[in-house]
Amino acid sequence: MSDIIVGIDLGTTNSAVAIVQDGVPRILSKGDQKIIPSVVGYSKQGGWLVGRAALNQYTLDPDNTVRSIKRDMGSDRRVTLGGREFTPQEISAFILRELKAIAEENLGQTVTKAVITVPAYFTNAQRQATKEAGEIAGLEVVRIINEPTAAALAYGLDHEDDKMALVYDLGGGTFDVSLVEMTGGVVEVRASHGDTHLGGDDFDDRLAEQAHQIFSQKHQVSLQDNRLAMARLNRAAEAAKVHLSDFPEANIREEYLAEQEAIPLHLEMKITRAEFEDLTKDLLARTTASMEKVLTDAELEIEDLDRVLLVGGSTRMPAVWDLVSDFTQLEPDAEINPDEVVALGAAVQAAIIAGQPVDSILVDVTPYSLGIEAATMVGGQIIPDIYSILIRRNTTIPVTKEQVFRTLYPDQDAVQVKVYQGEAPIASANTLLDEFLIDGLKSAGRGQHPTVNVRFDFDVNGMLHVTAIDPVSGNRKNVSVQATQARLTPHEIASARERLSEMDMFDNFDEDDDDDDVIELTADAPATIDKETKALLQRAKSLLEANKLTTEQAEQLSSLVDQVMQASNQGELDELSEELLDMLFELE
Ligand code: AMP
């Protein structure tokens, strides 16, 4: 028992410790905290603070608080805290000591060994400094591994062969992208590139700047020299940013931010996700340049990629998902909590070293996308039956997502909300879970279309709670339905995704950038497969997704679908389509 080895992600912004117990990798937490801010402080009362307590002090006393020490590892920089000078190793050791204590508290035994992760670009000096930090904290660092390697281990990619994965890691203060190759059970970093000064903090800064501008214009006061007010703005901006990952808009409200002639001044602003994305789009564009660079360095093409892993808390921003999937033309893996995946991977490595068996990490996900029916206007004509997804398939549950929908007409006061599960862009081709009417909608002003906020809450028991809210009248309606859920390993999810994507005949609808109101529906199918056959395939897919068939029936249907899609000539296709029609008739 004494030979236990923990896995540690010693991050720039946050750190975490994990272990493999009974074959299952899991994070060791401190109360409700699974990740610990990588912050160290010396309090006015004369005590040492690490983690959340230190982060809280940062707002009040930034001079006696140290953040992002990881950037200085391997350098000669010294930090003064509580009147004493410290090396970066010593500051990091405070964090490691805290993680060691968390592990010991959880496990009820002394912990003396660890695997610690570092960025793939870390030099020998930086790796050595990380090892020394461990030793100062009383930990023998049995191995230093690269963060992208750890992420690949957490996803079980060491069981795959001859595969190439792109690991996109956007944390709080750093960004890196690596190409990881799997050969014969060995995970190796082929190339890595990044920006050590790009991360979630930059997104917070942008939003805080905007808030500052609004505040100073309104009150004619600058907060530039008011450190405390600026720190409060930053925290409020971060909270709003996190909110915008799940909701279409956020309110920033900070009371008594400053005062003028003894009158308190408050900040109040509203920002939509679209505005936030516009404000920060150049930051994300920088990550595209890094993805291009890493591919060039490794002499690879986008088509050579088999998997994409999202790592780091900032990858929860929907714009990141969109950017990475557009760039790689792959559906990224994000099932394992992006804040925890590196520590979990370090624990997997630790278990391998200790000769312990390791099972795959299990995650609860939505196996199908969930959304509602919407319509759009194209050149003055209404196109109905469009599937608008709120929760994408393979999203880890529990999850909450909200979107705003506009009514088609200014005087429309009721909307039928139809809730679907499935992947087809045509709403009615998916499985209808439930529907309800919300009426008495009010317009926010003359000539304005009333709006409805639709919110999906998917809980741990697989219940989907759908709420429609009229933001003007406050009127709300809700339903709860049992939706399909699954407990799968990321590896199983990836294979299921591959199988599904082969069937995604219609999964291709593009938004026309030139005209906001126009959505074009394009069907991407081989020329020989006509509209009728496509509809048959879609029916087959919906039937398979509804999970109501016996295994034998599902296999027969899948096999026939495969044959139809691979038919080499028209005669064969017609015959098989006929057969499919018969089978559907029987099964439905
Ligand atoms: P990490 O260093 O990987 O722990 O990432 C920390 C960064 O992730 C911070 O900048 C957080 O603000 C950011 N972050 C965490 N959760 C979210 C979220 N839901 N949406 C956007 N950013 C997030």
Confidence band, pLDDT 50/70/90 cuts, at residue 472: very high
pLDDT at 258 over 80: yes
Q: What residue's CA is closest to ligand 1, atom 9?
A: 172
**Residue 61 designated active-site:** no
Q: Which of 30, 70, 100, 541 is catalytic?
A: 70
Separation of alpha carbons 376 and 120, rounded Å: 46
pLDDT of residue 122: 92
Question: H helices then E strands: how many in the chain?
Answer: 14, 29
Q: Where are the CATH 3.90.640.10 domain residues in the chain?
A: 200-281
Find tokens 């801010």 and name the residue: 37
pLDDT of residue 264: 93
Residues 6+ apart with CB under 8 A from 544: 554, 557, 558, 561
Instruction: Please work out whether the CB of residue 238 comes within 6 Å of at least one atom of ligand 1.
Output: yes
pLDDT of residue 576: 85
Residue 83's alpha-carbon distances to 22, 43, 44, 56, 312, in angstroms, are: 46, 12, 12, 20, 34
pLDDT of residue 527: 34
* Averaged pLDDT for residues 83-101: 97
**Residue 169 designated active-site:** yes
Q: Where are the CATH 3.30.420.40 domain residues in the chain?
A: 5-199+283-365
Comparing 125 with 535, the larger pLDDT belongs to 125
Q: What residue's CA is closest to ligand 1, atom 3?
A: 312
* Ligand 1 centroid to residue 505 C-alpha, Å: 35
Query: CATH assignment of 370-474?
Result: 2.60.34.10
pLDDT digit string (tens) for 187-230? 999 999 989 899 999 999 999 999 999 999 999 999 998 888 99
Question: Computed from CA positions of residues 198, 200, 201, 204, in that sequence, does the dihedral angle turn out positive or negative?
Answer: positive
Cα 305–chain centre separation:
20
**Residue 582 designated active-site:** no
Instruction: Please work out whether the CB of residue 119 comes within 6 Å of at least one atom of ligand 1.
Output: no
| Number of neighbouring beta carbons within 10 Å of residue 132 | 19
Q: Specify the length of the chain in residues.
A: 588
Are the C-beta atoms of 432 and 420 separated by less than 8 Å?
Answer: yes
Beta pairing class for 113-118 and 5-10: parallel
Of the candidates 148, 132, 144, 515, the one whose C-alpha atom is nearest the C-alpha of residue 308 is: 148
pLDDT at 1 over 80: no
* Ligand 1 centroid to residue 242 C-alpha, Å: 7
Lowest mean pLDDT among 127-141, 276-290, 563-577: 563-577
Out of 242, 315, 320, 340, give the residue to mutate to test ligand 1, the one with the largest number of ligand atoms within 8 Å of its CB.
242
Instruction: Please work out whether the CB of residue 313 comes within 6 Å of at least one atom of ligand 1.
Output: yes
Q: What residue's CA is closest to ligand 1, atom 15?
A: 313
Tokens for 570, please give them: 């028209």
pLDDT of residue 478: 92
Q: Where are the CATH 2.60.34.10 domain residues in the chain?
A: 370-474
Q: Which of 72, 90, 98, 169 is catalytic?
A: 169
pLDDT of residue 523: 26
pTM of the predicted protein model: 0.81
Q: Which atom of ligand 1 is nearest to the CA of 238?
A: 12
pLDDT of residue 486: 80
pLDDT at 514 over 50: no
In CATH, the architecture of 200-281 is Alpha-Beta Complex (3.90)
**Residue 9 designated active-site:** yes
Confidence band, pLDDT 50/70/90 cuts, at residue 375: confident
3-state DSSP call for residue 259?
strand
- Written out in words, the top-level CATH class of the domain with range 5-199+283-365 is alpha beta
Q: What is the mean pLDDT of the chain?
A: 88
